[in-house]
Amino acid sequence: MQLEHPVLARALQPLAHTETEVPVVDPARGEAFAWVPRVTPEEVAAAIAEAARAQPAWGRATWAERAAVLARLARLMSDAAEDLARLITLEEGKPLAEARAEIAYARSFVEYYAGMGGTEIGHVLASPFPDTEVRTELEPLGVTAAITPWNFPSAMITRKLAPALLGGNAFLLKPAEATPLSALALSALAHEAGLPRGLFHVLTGGRNDAAAIGGALTSSPVVKKLSFTGSTTVGKLLLAQCADTVKRVTLELGGNAPFLVFDDADLDAAVAGLLVAKFRNTGQSCVAAQRVYVHASIFDRFVDALAERVARLETGPGLDPKNHIGPLIDARAVDKVEGHVEDAREKGARVLVGGTRIEGRGSFYAPTLLVDFSKDARLAAEETFGPVLAVRRFSDEAEVIAEANATRAGLVAYFYSESARRIARVSRGLEFGMVGVNTGLVSTAVAPFGGIKESGLGREGAREGLYDWTRLKYVCARYQEP
């Protein structure tokens, strides 16, 4: 693991040579290439205590001072962008071009919140009382914590870290066991940017350590907030654990995104948008298109164009620039994808492209296109989290909206149409926290990201993301002349 940036070389290079307890595995080769410490519950408690000691001084710093640290972190991320991208590809598997795009996306959150410093600290309101000022203030929560996933190992950190630090909080991070190096790299850069010690702790461990680390965070009365991105099952468990201490909780959980293509859509644009919405990160995304509905009048033309594009996708290690599709995160992920495809086949779906695992080193599955899937297929109700497109036809707008909404998830939906009236009507009818219209890419630092129903609580990004990392205080001050 060769790193060029001096800060990352100092912080991470020893991890490639010192075998401690937890291996980091390259999913393209199925081999460990680094090792990280296994943090104990006692060490988690010590980190919480250190964060509690460091946070008050940081909370008293001005918004401008905190924003300046974020601005320096953004510049360091830019300087180290190639190393950060290679780390993502090595530990998570996505193609290097996508990893570079993720680093730019991750940096955008840091830059956005650095630019917000001093602009969102509260409001003076029109007072109904004479000689009285009525105002609101945003204050730090104190010690906060986050548990992040492996599929976007840098962006899912900075989307939480940047507003947490701008808001004056200490930040404890439990990264996914598969992708700890990106977290350790961001921690090293944050401290190089001038973040005082004790404010950002990375708690690494293996799969069997997750419950103990998470339990130490959720049970601590010192930790005032937990933010989690991951599965709905784990999110519900963490929410229940946080109830005893009435923590602030932000959850970004699973999706089951429908992708609707109406008869007046730009067909070429819809195919291109669907490829982005489905195959980015090998389909391992909570906002990936899961169920595709195409109007019957254009179904055959759409599927023909889609099949031709899917068949051209190259699969292989992410460091090879010719590959569009990287490995799945591990063998269990391949088994799940294979199970979804076989279940869909048994229930009547036809495989037009792919439909097989790729044997050999690494955890690869061929880009796959299924048509005419059944409503009761597993992939209609569960996230596949892999490179599988499932398409069926529809004829009636109201019926397809009802079918799109027939899920316990409510993260994101997509649709393509050129009709202004239909765009307004369908946007209102879809029961999701986010809707992409004539685009397969909705995520941006300037917009609030999050879902409804069982897809989560709260929002990340934008000004709403800062509000979720601060507490609102109302002050009513009367000024009486003597």
Provide the annotated active-site residues: 252, 286
- Give CB contacts under 8 A, 24+ apart, made by 12-16: 12/87, 12/181, 12/184, 12/185, 12/188, 15/181, 15/184
Structure tokens, 127: 């007072």
End-to-end CA distance of the chain: 71
Count of C-beta atoms within a 10 Å radius of residue 439: 14
Cα–Cα distance measured from residue 214 to residue 219, given in angstroms and rounded to the nearest whole number: 9
Q: Enter the DSSP assignment of 77.
A: H
CB 133 within 8 A of CB 127: yes
Rg (CA), the chain: 23
Place of tokens 């999050």: 450
Distances (CA, A) of 79 to 61, 202, 380: 27, 22, 43
The string of DSSP codes covering 215-249 is HHHHH-SSEEEEEEES-HHHHHHHHHHHGGGT-EE
Any bridge partners for residue 123, and if so which? 136
